[in-house]
Structure 1
Amino acid sequence: MGISSERDLADFLVAYTRDMALSDEEPGTILDRYFVPDFEYCNDGLVIDRQRMIDHVRPVRRNVDRAAMAADDRSGAEIHEVLVSGDRMAARWTLRTRLRKGKTFTAEIYTFGRLTPDGRIRRIDQTSRQLDDEQ
């Protein structure tokens, strides 16, 4: 799936977030669908490469309450604004993740990125702000 429109970007944020947290699919396979192999993902100043992203997904999947997220239509990515212009993308969205210990992790996220000609992601610069737990 390549990103070439606002709809593509919104669909990516929803599908990528869901697949990385809830899918049994290998994280590397999911990354390869959306990102170039040497992508850089800079989140709150920390640059994450492919291997570090794969390593990050394993504990996320252990801590997510899959059943609660599947039953809660507010879980996952809530898209507020997206923009795609040429090889640049931007989004403002909220992530809600139900955790096994009963809490909900919620963050407001601002994402800016660079795309390759085939619509895969080359770089993301992202900042997030954790919101109060919603129990």
Structure 2
Amino acid sequence: MSTTHRPTAAEDFIGYLRAYHSDAIDGNDPVEEVWERYHLPDGPHRVNGRLWDHKKIMRSLRSRRSLDAPYELYVHELVVEGDRAAARYTISTPMAWKFQSATDAAVFAEMAGDGRVARSDAFSASRPGWAGHGGSAPSDAAARPTPGAVPAPPPADGAEPTPAQDPAHYLRAYYAAGYDPAVPAAEAHDRFHTPDAVHQVGGKVMQRSGVLKALEDGRKRKHSYPVEVHETLREGDRFAVRYTTSRGGNPKKSQEVFAFGEFAPDGRVRRVCFVLEPGYGAA
């Protein structure tokens, strides 16, 4: 067993992601030992909405290590609030020439008193791709909030909060207005987003015109997406939200979504990435 210090999730969450994946994929220590080095052994861990027990986690780690293949880890987003953190990242594995297998991942985690991860909710989806980072900044520095960002002041008594003051309010109100035929689609978008806001939905990048078309198409089909927010994090001008939505409130069409966004100085959202299965259709 190596005595080299590895950062805990509480000390440095990006450092934890890198050290954990390095030890789990490239290391020689037993995977059980690697897992408990960074995580409480009995903490709850969910992947794509399903609880993974210790046996399944170990099987997954052994399977990945058995590939004996190099990998590249790119951290795109990080939001830390107190003893919780949320991150979005990509793990790419070269296959042949410039062709790669890429795993898009996101995680919401809570840290224990000793710095290890006590529980986590994660998203993971693999896709074919090309060498590189898929258009997302590979630099860890890009995952940090804008320096000097100051949250907007709280609303006056009885006033409705702006999106910048409450990420959960932003999601609930935007979904409600976006699919309300009584509210013009352009108004629904511009109330919550800057005109040049960029949306990334299930891997598809859209600007204002694309979002408006998606909203109009959903309205024609009489779609609605009630939102149940599970947790939110805010750090500077960045936010992360884990929530569940469903088409028309139908449990059979429910989808857990991880959203990562950035607020503009006026309180509206100027960039938001919805991490979900491609083709689900949330906007």
Scaled by the length of structure 2, what TM-score is found?
Answer: 0.40
The offset of 1:113, in angstroms, is 0.9
Q: 1:108 to 1:15 in 2, by over 3 A?
A: same
Equivalence for 1:45: 49
Q: Deviations over 1:10-38 (max 9, x none)?
A: 01111111221121110011111111110
Listed as ranges, the matches of 1:102-117 within 5 Å are 104-117=100-113
* Selected match of 1:29 from 18, 23, 33: 33
Q: Is the 8 A contact 1:64 1:97 kept in 2?
A: no
Amino acid at match of 1:16: Y
Equivalence for 2:8: 2
- Greater relative contact order (Cα 8 A, min sep 6): structure 1 or 2? 1
The offset of 1:111, in angstroms, is 0.8
Q: Deviations over 1:37-84 (max 9, x none)?
A: 10222111222222321122222222232xxx2xxxxx3321112122
Equivalence for 2:75: 79
Amino acid at match of 2:13: L
The offset of 1:87, in angstroms, is 1.7
Q: Is the 8 A contact 2:48 2:122 kept in 1?
A: yes
Cα distance in 2, alignment partners of residues 118 and 16 from structure 1: 16
Equivalence for 2:92: 96
Number of residues of Structure 1 aligned to a counterpart in Structure 2: 124
Cα distance in 2, alignment partners of residues 60 and 124 from structure 1: 19
The offset of 1:97, in angstroms, is 2.3
Cα distance in 1, alignment partners of residues 107 and 75 from structure 2: 11
Fraction of identical pairs, as percent: 25
4+ long deviations beyond 3 Å = none
Q: 1:59 to 1:10 in 2, by over 3 A?
A: same
Q: 1:17 to 1:103 in 2, by over 3 A?
A: farther
The offset of 1:99, in angstroms, is 5.4
Q: Is the 8 A contact 2:9 2:15 kept in 1?
A: no
Structure 1: unaligned runs, 5 residues or longer = 70-74
Q: 1:129 to 1:23 in 2, by over 3 A?
A: same
Q: Is the 8 A contact 1:64 1:98 kept in 2?
A: no
Say which SS state the counterpart of residue 38 (structure 1) adopts. coil
Aligned alpha-carbon RMSD (Å): 2.2
Structure 2: unaligned runs, 5 residues or longer = 1-6, 132-283
